[in-house]
Structure 1
Amino acid sequence: MRLFRSFAALALAAGIIAAAPPLQAQDRAAVERQFRGWLEDTVWPRADAEGVSRGTFTDATAGITLDWDLPDLVPPGSAPTVPERQRQSEFGAPARYFTPGGLSSATSVGREMARRHAGALSAAERATGVPGHIVLGIWGRESGYGRASIPHDVFRVLGTKGFMSTRADYFTDELVAALRIAEAGHAPEGAMKSSWAGALGQPQFMPTSFLEHAADGDGDGRADIWRSEADTIASIAAYLAHHGWVAGRDWGFEVDVPASVSCALEGPDQGRPIREWADMGIARVSGRAFPDHELAGEGYLMMPAGRLGPAFVVTPNFYVLKDYNMSDLYALFVGHVGDRIAYGSGNFSEDWQDVGRMLRSDVADIQSGLVAQGHDVGGVDGLAGFKTRRSIGRWQEARGERATCFPAPGMADALR
């Protein structure tokens, strides 16, 4: 995943939380000394080879200590623990992602931003083909249109996770990229703050993504994703364009899926021309036909709550949004808020139904039972992704039951 994303999205995407190593039992002073040695012996040679000056390196790393409160840490001398049964975190039901207050706020502020930054949004769309309302959906989700607090020292975060996390190599690469950003003077003074995962600025770019995709939208010769709204807009649009946004196509459409169409047909590997979905009886909830220019294009059934919530036919652009954050709900939020901003759309036509109270470990138990019966659930992680949802549907259909394509209490027992 190229980017780590906004805090609510990250919480939904976290999966089963592994039991933390006994950090309090570590000799923290000794580990801190090892950390300083690692910065000098491992990070500095790499940064030097990438053109980072000694002064920049010293300014960035002098005095930083490990942040022991970050998740997913593996201190020296310990091993990653086997995930234990999750007893605290509830399974993230889709309805929680789409609270009325959150949607209303993102929409109302987004409309104001659309008026205020109409020129920058139009320029970005001309340059990349990415519609302005889609850019606004991401900007709002990532940083509340630049209003969210981004509190962490990026060098401390990336240093900690590069030194002792389960993805140490990845975060070390990101630390070196952050040093390159500092060396080039891209960020205003004091602006190198990040999320707990090291994401920067209003678009919440990881440092490598900044180096690859940050764009100058206001023509001042700099790509300032911290203070410039025009640069933020241009950078988000550039990211999506570089990841394959298809100009002229929508992200997707809310639809009615008749009972004759199996919810197990969901997924990006089961696409077909939108015309064929329409021929199967799938229709837009608005009562309007699918646009003529979309009919020959490939579409994919997407039912994030199975039969217990809204359904969609999405286009390849939906999966470009997922490149920004690997979450179906994130991409759906962005597309939905964008539509509300641009077209005055209201709530989803279908309600998100109550899916019961479950722990992520309960979902993992269901996944384990499905795997034992030969289903591909995409990993036993406690997250009901499309492979898990359709595997549930196929299992239900094989039992002669009405397929819901969504986890439910008691399902794990039935799979034993």
Structure 2
Amino acid sequence: MIRALFLTVILAFSVTAFAVPTSHAATKAGVETQFRQWLEADLWPDAKRAGVSKQVFDSAFAGVTLDWDLPDLAPPGFPKPKARAQSQAEFRSPGAYFSEKRLQGLAASGRSLMNQHAGLLRRIEERYGVPAAIIVAVWGRESGFGRAKIPHSAVRVIVTKAFMSTRPELFRREILAALQILQRGDVPAPALKGSWAGAMGQPQFLPSSYLDHAVDFDGDGKIDIWNSTADSLASIGNYLAKSGWVRGRDWGFEAVIPEGVTCALEGPDRARPIAALTEMGIIRISGRPFPEHERRAPGMVLVPAGIYGPEFVVTPNFYVIKEYNNSDLYALFIGNLADRMAYGGGAFVTRWQDTGAMLRSDIARLQSSLERQGYDVGGADGLPGYKTRRSIGEWQSKNGQKPTCFPTAALLKTIR
């Protein structure tokens, strides 16, 4: 789903049970009353300015109550939810993200569906320039090829978060976008189904992404990313194309960085022709040469687990996939799944090593230590992105250590 910064916030907090209200006003019934008042006094003026009629507005929220089961809620008058450090796959060895059983299952289903929809996918690829395997990989990862249950009312989820989440401004934009969808008449409110996070349909688009990227590809005069395979697949292709997909290029290649070449080369801002990377000794792990058209084009080193896992040379298209979900691991999952479907590929050759658990708060402390020493880690947010990884490698080189380019508990004790 299209969530980027949005998912970062979701991962940062866990749901805690609401404590006993501190005052008579801080009851669920009282908050529901405030919610109805907020709809009329606060949200409606903005919706009207966005071109939404009162009839559509009232119909959208008729009978809608707040969804108290959602995560990251901050109801007015209730104690604020406590932040709790997390230890998801992104903050341990990234290998946990790549379930071989799941990837094999998705690849088998994906290959069958690529054959079933070959003509449709060919037309979509011709229109948008995005390979069919990449589109189907996103489809499979986001909604199980449209088979996943998407049971929630997107209107209820998003308006709840707009009224009382930890990031209300983000969801306010999305509920206004959802109202514009209803105003256009593309789909009635009851059919506007989404996930618990508000992402809708088979491509898992937030409403703003639907407005910007969803297309009617089956020619029936309406956009339907819930029931139309053609509209869903073409909308994914359109999203990636508008995000900058470079027609004719791959997403990336598993590679080997030789001894003596630092892992701190990483980052899209350190791109150079792939031919220049091969001159440094970086090769494809398969032993095959990089395609000639790729050698002449820019590539970037990617080491999502530093020296403790697979290494890659990626193209700008890798970062286009990250526009769909701002995660290196997500983009690698999509690339690997697409390769399995298109070429019969398998798991990455280099295995992910277990580097031990690190809480997000631990990584944030390490980042703060590096920032105090002048390194650009991309913010002390507890997310070990490429700027953090290469800063670790640069610090290690400066201090006479072998660069590993990945946060570990031992490193936290060393970097002060």
Q: Do Structure 1 and Structure 2 share a fold, with TM-score over 0.5?
A: yes
Secondary structure of the 1:198 match is coil
Is 2:277 aligned against 1:281? no
**Which ranges of structure 1 fall in alignment gaps of 5 or more residues?**
none
TM-score (normalizing by structure 2)? 0.92
Structure 1 residues 87-96 or 287-296, which shifts more?
87-96
The superposition leaves residues 125-162 of structure 1 with CA deviations (integer Å, 9 ceiling, x where unpaired) of 11011111110111111101011122221111111111
Aligned equivalent of 1:152: 152
Aligned equivalent of 1:371: 371
Aligned equivalent of 2:3: 4
Q: Shift of the alpha carbon at 1:397?
A: 1.4
Aligned equivalent of 2:102: 102
The CA distance in 2 between the partners of 1:132 and 1:188, in whole Å, is 30
The CA distance in 1 between the partners of 2:363 and 2:255, in whole Å, is 27
CA separation of 1:301 and 1:315: change in aligned 2, threshold 3 A: same
Contact 2:376/2:391 (<8 A) preserved: yes
When the two structures are aligned, how many residues end up with a matched partner?
411
Amino acid of the structure 2 residue aligned with 1:328: D
The CA distance in 1 between the partners of 2:12 and 2:33, in whole Å, is 32
The CA distance in 2 between the partners of 1:10 and 1:159, in whole Å, is 15
Structure 1 residues 293-302 or 49-58, which shifts more?
49-58
The superposition leaves residues 212-236 of structure 1 with CA deviations (integer Å, 9 ceiling, x where unpaired) of 1111221212221000111111100
**Which ranges of structure 2 fall in alignment gaps of 5 or more residues?**
none
> 1:47-58, aligned counterparts within 5 Å?
47-58=47-58
Aligned equivalent of 1:261: 261
The CA distance in 2 between the partners of 1:21 and 1:380, in whole Å, is 28
TM-score (normalizing by structure 1)? 0.92
Amino acid of the structure 2 residue aligned with 1:410: A
Is 2:391 aligned against 1:410? no
Amino acid of the structure 2 residue aligned with 1:283: I
The CA distance in 1 between the partners of 2:395 and 2:37, in whole Å, is 53
Q: Shift of the alpha carbon at 1:370?
A: 1.7
CA separation of 1:74 and 1:190: change in aligned 2, threshold 3 A: closer
Contact 1:302/1:314 (<8 A) preserved: yes
> 1:85-100, aligned counterparts within 5 Å?
86=85, 91-100=91-100
Aligned equivalent of 1:389: 389
The CA distance in 1 between the partners of 2:315 and 2:394, in whole Å, is 24
Secondary structure of the 1:253 match is strand
Is 2:317 aligned against 1:321? no
State the percentage of identical aligned residues. Answer: 52
Amino acid of the structure 2 residue aligned with 1:404: T
Q: Shift of the alpha carbon at 1:55?
A: 3.2
The CA distance in 1 between the partners of 2:252 and 2:327, in whole Å, is 15
Contact 2:2/2:206 (<8 A) preserved: yes
Amino acid of the structure 1 residue aligned with 2:291: P
The superposition leaves residues 43-99 of structure 1 with CA deviations (integer Å, 9 ceiling, x where unpaired) of 223323333333332232122222233233333357977856x27767343111101
The CA distance in 2 between the partners of 1:138 and 1:51, in whole Å, is 33
Q: Shift of the alpha carbon at 1:314?
A: 0.7
CA separation of 1:181 and 1:19: change in aligned 2, threshold 3 A: closer
Contact 1:23/1:75 (<8 A) preserved: no
RMSD: 2.4
The superposition leaves residues 289-322 of structure 1 with CA deviations (integer Å, 9 ceiling, x where unpaired) of 1111111211111111110111111111111111
CA separation of 1:87 and 1:158: change in aligned 2, threshold 3 A: closer
The superposition leaves residues 2-36 of structure 1 with CA deviations (integer Å, 9 ceiling, x where unpaired) of 9228xxx9878855437969554343322221111
Aligned equivalent of 1:166: 166
Contact 2:19/2:78 (<8 A) preserved: no
Aligned equivalent of 1:241: 241
Amino acid of the structure 2 residue aligned with 1:184: R
Contact 1:139/1:145 (<8 A) preserved: yes
CA separation of 1:190 and 1:305: change in aligned 2, threshold 3 A: same
Secondary structure of the 1:300 match is strand
Q: Shift of the alpha carbon at 1:372?
A: 2.4
Contact 1:16/1:361 (<8 A) preserved: no
Structure 1 residues 65-74 or 134-143, which shifts more?
65-74
Aligned equivalent of 1:202: 202
Structure 1 residues 64-73 or 98-107, which shifts more?
64-73
